Every structure is written in C-alpha cells, then in structure tokens.
Amino acid sequence: MTRTINSDTVIDLIRNSAVEFRNPLDFDPLIHAIGEAKLVLLGEASHGTSEFYTTRVELTKRLISEKKFRFISVEGDWPACYKVNQYIKGHPDAPQSARDILNSFDRWPTWMWANEEIIPLLDWLKAYNMDKPYNERVGFYGMDLYSLWESMETILKYLEKIGSRDIEKAKKVLTCFHPHDRKAQDYGAHAAFFSEDCIEEVVDLLMTIQKNKTFYTDDEEEQLNLEMNAMVTVDAEAFYRAMVQGGPESWNIRDRHMTDCLIKLMTFHGDQAKGVVWEHNTHVGDARATTMEADGEVNVGQLVREHFGEKNVFIVGFSSYQGTVIASQAWGDPFKVMVVPPAAAESWETLFHQAKPTDQYIIFKKEDLPFQLIKGHRAIGVVYEPRYEKFGNYVQTNLAKRYNAFIFHDQTNALHPLEVANVFV
C-alpha cells in the first residue's frame, strides 16, 4: 500500500535526509551536488537577514576558490556595483576600502548592500584577485534596473570624457527625462497615460553604443559597462511605464532584464564562465513551481533554466523559522529591526522547525515526492508588517521543483546596516 504523503511524512524525511551545518566545511555535500553547473543561484527569504548573507558569503568563497567561478551578480544597481567590481579588481581609480565603496550605495533600500556582512567578502575577493592578471580576476556586478538616472549620467560622462560625437544622443535622452526631476514614477505616469515617452531616444542610444562601443575604447570591460548602462536605461524606461499600469508586466520586464544581464555576463567571461547569483527567493526560485505562474509572472530562475538548460543551473533557496529582520513599514521609510514571528502552521518553515529546530539543508532528489507538496513558503520584502505576515508573506511552493537545494536557518538575526543616509530616489 502506498504511504499517504502528509506533514508527518515530510517531517520524517527531513529528519532522515537533512544535513546540519555549523561551519563552511559542513557544506561539502552541497558543493559536490553543484557539480559542473555554470550558474549557482543563491536566494534569501528577506533582504534584511544576517545569516542569509553570511552563509552566501561562505558558499560563494568556496565556489570561487574550489570551482573557479568567475563573477558574482547581485540584485543591485549596475553603476554602484561596478564600483565594487573596480575595488575588488584593484582598479587605480577605486576607493581604498570596502567601507568607502559601500557608503556610495545611497539608494533606498540602502541596507541591502551597505551592510557589515558584505565587507569581509569584498576584502576576501580583493585579496584573492591580487595575484591574477586583470582579465582573470573575479568580478562583481549589479543586475537590477532602478538606476535610470545614474546609468544615463554614467554614459554621458564617459562620452564627454572621450569627446565622442555620440554625446548629443546621450544629452537628448537626459533632456527627455529632465521634466520629471529624477522621479521615475512621475515619468511612468506621463508616459503611460499621456504618451509622453522617451522610447525612441533610449533605444537609439542603446543601438548607437552597441554599434560604436569598440571605437570608444579597447577596454572590453569598459565597453561592457557602457552597454549595460544603456540596457538599464532602455529597460528601466519600459519598467516604469508598465509599473503604473499594474499587472505582471513590470515584474516580468525586471526579471527579463536581470536574465539578459546574466546572459551578457556569461558571454563576456567566455566559454568557461561560471557565475554566482545573489537575489531574493522570489527571483531565483523557479516561478513555475509557485503560484507566480498562474499570475502570469516569470522570474530569473525559470528563465535561466530555460536558456542555459537545467543541468547548467543550480538553485538554492533560503529561509528561517523566526528571529529579527531589517525592513521598513512603507516604501522609502527609514529601516528598523523588526521581529519575525514563528512561521505559519503547515508552512515549509514550520515543518523544518518541527523536524529539527536547527540549521540544516536538503539537496533534493527526484524521488523525494514529499517535497513536491504545495505549501506556503515565507517571503519577506523590504516593506514588512509582521502583524499581517501570515496573510501576505507566503508563496505557495513546490519546494523540490522550485530549488535544487534548500538551506534552513532556524533562528535568524537582523542584518547590520552601515551608517548610510537612507535616501530614496
């Protein structure tokens, strides 16, 4: 007789299969399971949990040192992250400390990258890179699209610096956006409802840069920097137009942009390229294994599996049972430490806690049918209200199809932000 798959069955399987961890060496089975994957996506259930960052740091260091991963791509702005890239590669124009670099992350939510937990990784990366030729050093890149104005200004400054005739096209783009005073939502509303858009200008600039980038400079990474900033400009324009209209399209534009960034980075780093990705679970966990698919949403995890093939992509989800977190109560508000209550009954987090109230991870196998049940899986954003968490912070999830592995921290603590002005642009 086939055994009924219920919560007790799942709990028993966790007890028998989960690997407890206390230090980086405890991840040997996970590193082995990653095998020859070209992309490893490391998630998080919030943007403000210390343990998610510190665990990803240790895994990332091992992937770089043992499996020769060549770059890290994160849910951050391209211009700010490119400064980090220059720092860890020892670029002569880069500031001399990781703390100075991170203080330049002044876009809300600042704490995502301007935090204490990321500093040891950046210093480790800089030390790791120093005995290598510049073109073989590990890179650090952003893949998000919120830096509309910063990306435009970066392009303009570079074209001014080299005295390019294409500077007029960059100025034309900035002039088009100028009436909106760096308020992206204001631009989106005017573009969506009054047909006052800048589509022609941004597309013309991107096409020009793609065509002429090799004439601007023979520095291939600087060419990449220009092209990626132009891609941000085009996709951010579309994102803000779609955002004010509602529906899934703005989400999809953003995740397709991040996927396109990964494809560009993989191409840039050559045939042997391998990349580590840091993003929220809602981006890295395959959308087809959640209710996101029914809502018409795609995400990075799904798109990279489709593009590179499932055998080349290894996705690791993260979550916790309870603790504290850094978040805000409204978009753009100052952050604070909030209490994360015990997870909802019958959620994946509660089942892991009931099985073993400790830090542990599971590497999924196709025959592990209990992990293919559909249950709630915690998802905390930068805006969070603990009192209402059980009504809106869970994504119905087939855990084994969403991820290749799942890391569970039973008790977690809030991230440690740097003292950076809490700016929203």
Query: What residues does each domain of the chain span?
Result: 7-143+266-412, 148-246
The whole-number average pLDDT for the span 101-116 is: 93
Residue 34 has pLDDT above 80, yes or no: yes
For the chain, the three-class secondary structure string (H helix, E strand, C coil) is: CCCCCCHHHHHHHHHHHCEECCCHHHHHHHHHHHCCCCEEEECCCCCCEHHHHHHHHHHHHHHHHHHCCCEEEECCCHHHHHHHHHHHCCCCCCCCCHHHHHCCCCCCCHHHCCEHHHHHHHHHHHHHHCCCCHHHCCEEEECCCCCHHHHHHHHHHHHHHHCCCCHHHHHHHHHHHHHHCCCHHHHHHHHHHHCCCCHHHHHHHHHHHHHHHHHHCCCHHHHHHHHHHHHHHHHHHHHHHHHCCCCCHHHHHHHHHHHHHHHHHHHHCCCCCCEEEECCHHHHCCHHHECCCCCCCCCHHHHHHHHHCHHHEEEEEEEEEEEEEEEECCCCCCCEEEEECCCCCCCHHHHHHHHCCCCEEEECCCCCHHHHCEEEEECCCCECCHHHHHHHCEEEEEHHHHCCEEEEEEEECECCECCCCCCCC
Residue 66 has pLDDT above 90, yes or no: yes
The angle at the Cα of 133, spanning 129 to 138, to the nearest 5 degrees, equals 40
Question: What is the model's pLDDT at position 4?
Answer: 65
The whole-number average pLDDT for the span 415-419 is: 92
Residue 311 has pLDDT above 60, yes or no: yes
The whole-chain average pLDDT of the chain stands at 93
- When mean pLDDT is compared over 56-65, 241-250, 361-370, the highest value belongs to 56-65
Question: What is the model's pLDDT at position 182?
Answer: 82
% pLDDT > 90, the chain: 82
Question: What is the model's pLDDT at position 243?
Answer: 84
Residue 3 has pLDDT above 80, yes or no: no
The whole-number average pLDDT for the span 40-57 is: 98
Question: What is the model's pLDDT at position 405?
Answer: 98
Question: What is the model's pLDDT at position 390?
Answer: 79
Say whether domain 7-143+266-412 belongs to CATH 3.40.1660.10. yes
The per-residue pLDDT for range 160-195, each reduced to its tens digit, is 999 999 999 999 998 988 888 888 788 888 777 767
Question: What is the model's pLDDT at position 131?
Answer: 94
Least confident of 32-36, 59-63, 91-95, 349-353: 91-95
% pLDDT > 70, the chain: 97
Residue 96 has pLDDT above 90, yes or no: no
Residue 5 has pLDDT above 90, yes or no: no
Question: What is the model's pLDDT at position 204?
Answer: 93
Question: What is the model's pLDDT at position 420?
Answer: 57
